[in-house]
Structure 1
């Protein structure tokens, strides 16, 4: 199956072997796991648990969504504007250039067309409706961040890709020319030719792999996107480490931090932030404006779909974190510092104007059997 991607060979593999994270067989996290992050007694959910359609795992109605194209046609007054398109896919307009992070337009965060976590609803705009992009930034190779059908569509363009070392093997296998790909190791900085943009890979605490045979064979990174006047931090996927302080000191300050808050579970608290640790990480990064990502699109754990953002809203300290909570497709400027609004709660009302029920995959014996097949082919958890 082409969606599994391709493994590194030759010079790319030699570069991986030279990394301090390489243990002789594969990459590993080198930062010690902080106390209390992972509950060793917590039982990891099985894939069958994961695919169940319990109430609360998906919004009962479509989330409010906006068409951003009219806003994109006008220049942002502050020269920094972001549009959340779902999960970790964000269009960043920074100092006259456009950067797209972890683009996922596919229906499922899975190698399979008919099995795996499905989107709550479509992306607010199609790929064909997107404006011209100056760079695509991909943090790591998990299915909810590196999407085969999306990459195949982007292969028809000329946009450059900046990603973590090893991920380029997947991109090349899917039709992206080698000269369009730049692969970074931690603390490496790349200036996008012909622009005022630079992208720097920074440490994260996660893992990688699209199948059981390639686990931790590509690097995972957070990313710093920098224009001539502004800097944005994008976490990718990560657990909490004190490396955020080093990132702040070496690459900050940041006009916006985008941190993952969803898909948390006590058994994997070392490789995902969740809302509580996202707030801690944000303080380490210097505070300011925080936009949560990695929520509201796929059910990638067993918690309620809105628990991450509800917890974030309840616990955020306004002295350290100004929450930026845009609707899907809403182009917003961090400098405006708008009051946080719990707009997603309207989807909880079945009588909301224009509401239509969201179809949910059946919890069938056949699907359970397929879950067993999937669990033998891909790493777990999926992201």
Structure 2
């Protein structure tokens, strides 16, 4: 018994030291920053809160049901073979308005000749360590960063591992001009070697004029935290990007709520909405929308065209990996919403002529590697 206590103690201390010292966990807002946050209505008892009461507590029965589902859940929670991905590098390097999706919530926008990367997660696993947690449906995409053009700005919606990836930021930091992040998230980037003057922190409803574009931080209904002791120490948000010819909205993660109509009233209509709609479950419905709610949120913000995000790369919930897009397409048809569903790696030109969904996720995948199509010298 004594030896077990010693082993447990060593493991506990080792875990605390790892969380404290390893850079992947990021930094923490300073005392001065926390004092400034204290004056905001959505900051209470040392942490940020949602505009509407959001219960995220899980009792013993909920935890046990999740453990059961992790063992007996659907067998199709991930693809049976790696997803093949191809890129049109000529389009990616072009200055024409476009969108390239890398799976989950990571995408590259070209708007008014500016390259804007949202929630860059190219790593193999949304976890502090790559050997623990869900694995990417395709091969590791970190090498893609070297092939990307110079990035004018990166937009982060919150600090969870599937949106703010330490290995990705380390590889990106020298080819990015500026970072836009919610309140408190700068502490992570600064710890990873990015200078403070290259970072703009935004509260909800903050609006920034940047390089001819308008970038606005808008509310979402979610939570934050990268370690055991910093839950909700940083803010979460969605982003509005307004250019000369494009009005884009990305929701970030979050549950359905009245904030969508508020966003629509202030900034709508949008040419394209990028709506979170994967990794859902009735046990955490307050912080992740069902696909049907995503379609309704698109209507609330007054979107013209919609793309479902937060799926296609990792298994973080207990539904089939294709459920999100299948359900979203059904709901979109019922509500007469034009929904697009590009292949992972596909670049769509934002000229108002969006392709019909190809249902690529239903095709059997036999290719175990990623195809790289380079149409232009890199």
Report the counterpart of residue 69 of structure 1 in structure 2. 89
Cα-to-partner distance string for 1:58-91 (whole Å, 9 max, x where unaligned): 1012324221312224443xxx311101110000
Whole-Å separation in 2 of the counterparts to 1:322 and 1:48: 37
SS at 2:244 equivalent: coil
Whole-Å separation in 2 of the counterparts to 1:327 and 1:151: 24
Cα-to-partner distance string for 1:5-50 (whole Å, 9 max, x where unaligned): 111104322232222111122111122469xx99999835546854
Q: Which residue of 198, 209, 214 maps to 1:180?
A: 198
Whole-Å separation in 2 of the counterparts to 1:71 and 1:242: 37
Q: Which residue of 241, 244, 247 maps to 1:228?
A: 244
Matched, 1:14 2:19: no
Cα-to-partner distance string for 1:134-170 (whole Å, 9 max, x where unaligned): 1100000000000011111122234210010000001
Contact 2:122 2:168 in 1 (8 A): yes
Q: Which residue of 100, 115, 122 maps to 2:117?
A: 100
Contact 1:66 1:124 in 2 (8 A): no
Larger helix share, 1 or 2: 2
Contact 1:51 1:117 in 2 (8 A): no
* Unaligned stretches of 5+ residues in structure 1: 359-383
- Size of the alignment, in residue pairs? 346
Q: Which residue of 257, 263, 267 maps to 1:247?
A: 263
1:180–1:277 CA distance, 2 compared to 1 (3 A)? same
Q: CA deviation at 1:260?
A: 0.9
Normalising by structure 1, we get a TM-score of: 0.84
Whole-Å separation in 2 of the counterparts to 1:220 and 1:138: 9
Please say which of residues 280-289 and 160-169 is displaced more in the overlay: 280-289
Whole-Å separation in 1 of the counterparts to 2:25 and 2:155: 20
Cα-to-partner distance string for 1:189-231 (whole Å, 9 max, x where unaligned): 1222xx2122111010000001120001100001111212311
Normalising by structure 2, we get a TM-score of: 0.85
Report the counterpart of residue 100 of structure 2 in structure 1. 83
Q: Where do 1:54-203 residues align within 5 Å? A: 55-76=75-96, 80-122=97-139, 123=141, 126-192=144-210, 195-203=211-219
1:51–1:269 CA distance, 2 compared to 1 (3 A)? same
Whole-Å separation in 2 of the counterparts to 1:272 and 1:38: 15
Whole-Å separation in 1 of the counterparts to 2:156 and 2:225: 14
Contact 2:277 2:308 in 1 (8 A): yes
RMSD over equivalenced CA pairs, Å: 2.6
Structure whose CA Rg is larger: 2
Please say which of residues 330-339 and 81-90 is displaced more in the overlay: 330-339
* Unaligned stretches of 5+ residues in structure 2: 1-21, 371-378
Matched, 1:281 2:282: no
